[in-house]
Amino acid sequence: MSILLKVPRTLIFILFIIVLFLEPPSPLAAADRIAIGKFLLGKEANGSPKGWKTVTYFNTPPTSYKVVKYRGRYVLKAEGIGTSSSLFREVKAELNDYPIISWRWKISNVIRQAIETQKDRNDSAARVIVVFRIGMEEMPPWYGLKYLVRGILRRNEPIGPRIEYIWGNKIEKGQILDNPSVKQSKVIILESGERKANRWIWEKRNLLDDYKAAFGTDSQGILGLGIQTDTDQSNEGVTAYYGEIFLRKR
């Protein structure tokens, strides 16, 4: 009788091991891409699009952001005339497996008076902002106090080195610039001028390569994602659309 009892248990154990090793990988492990910037209907308690937090700037009217449906998909519509505000969301991700960021966007027009290298003319029709983690050993001496103040004033804005991918005015596509308004922030011109205005354009960038080119060191991963359409310095009007943002393996 004891032998008969042992046999079922042994079979159950063997079957459990087989099932364990034959279990399919999780969707995240198998996925070629991960959505890190979704746009969903509904709003947060403070009026921000669902899943995002709004950052406003002192004495500046905010840009209007709302989620709309376009050909069966939800996208973000940004509208502004003399306005500036940003949307951010927390994204904690390593980049070794998913180093590529991709999205699509569309603008009605460029900001014709914008000069991306000047602090008082640094407007842009569309920006996608990636905020990176930084190690203690890499922090400049001024980081602590300055970022503590920024953290208090802009509670919804992740703090760290950042790359801003922008649709620029006249500066040549592909250039990497210092952001004249924000320290430890680099600007990469992805599109320039109005030749592609009113068309959906797909973008694809390698974050590891871009971070190395911008800051001269290796990235430790990302901690935030942002979107900004700003026209406060030019007082011009623009409408921009942003599609879902992904991290990809390749």
Residues with pLDDT less than 70, the chain:
1-30, 135-155
Beta-bridge partners for 92: none
Output the pLDDT for position 17: 37
Question: How much is the pTM?
Answer: 0.83
pLDDT at 10: 54
Distances from the Cα of 66 to the Cα of 62, 156, 234, angstroms: 12, 18, 22
3-class DSSP string for the chain: CHHHHHHHHHHHHHHHHHHHHHCCCCHHHHCCEEEEECCEEEECCCCCEECCEEEECCCCCCCEEEEEEECCEEEEEEEEECCEEEEEEEEEECCCCCCEEEEEEEECCCCCCCCCCCHHHCCEEEEEEEEECCCHHHCCCCHHHHHHHHHHHCCCCCCCCEEEEEEECCCCCCCEEECCCCCCEEEEEEEECCCCCCCCEEEEEEHHHHHHHHHCCCCCCEEEEEEEEECCCCCCEEEEEECCEEEECC
Instruction: Give the model confidence (pLDDT) of 180-210 as tens digits.
Output: 988 889 999 999 999 999 999 999 999 999 9
Do strands 162-168 and 185-192 pair parallel, antiparallel, or not at all (unpaired)? Answer: parallel
Chain centroid to CA 44: how far? 19
Query: Is CATH 2.60.120.260 the classification given to domain 27-248?
Result: yes
Give the span between the Cα atoms of 20 and 129, in whole angstroms. Answer: 41
Which of 55, 57, 165 is closest to 116 using CA atoms? 165
pLDDT tens, position by position, 95-137: 999 999 999 999 999 999 999 999 999 999 999 999 999 865 5
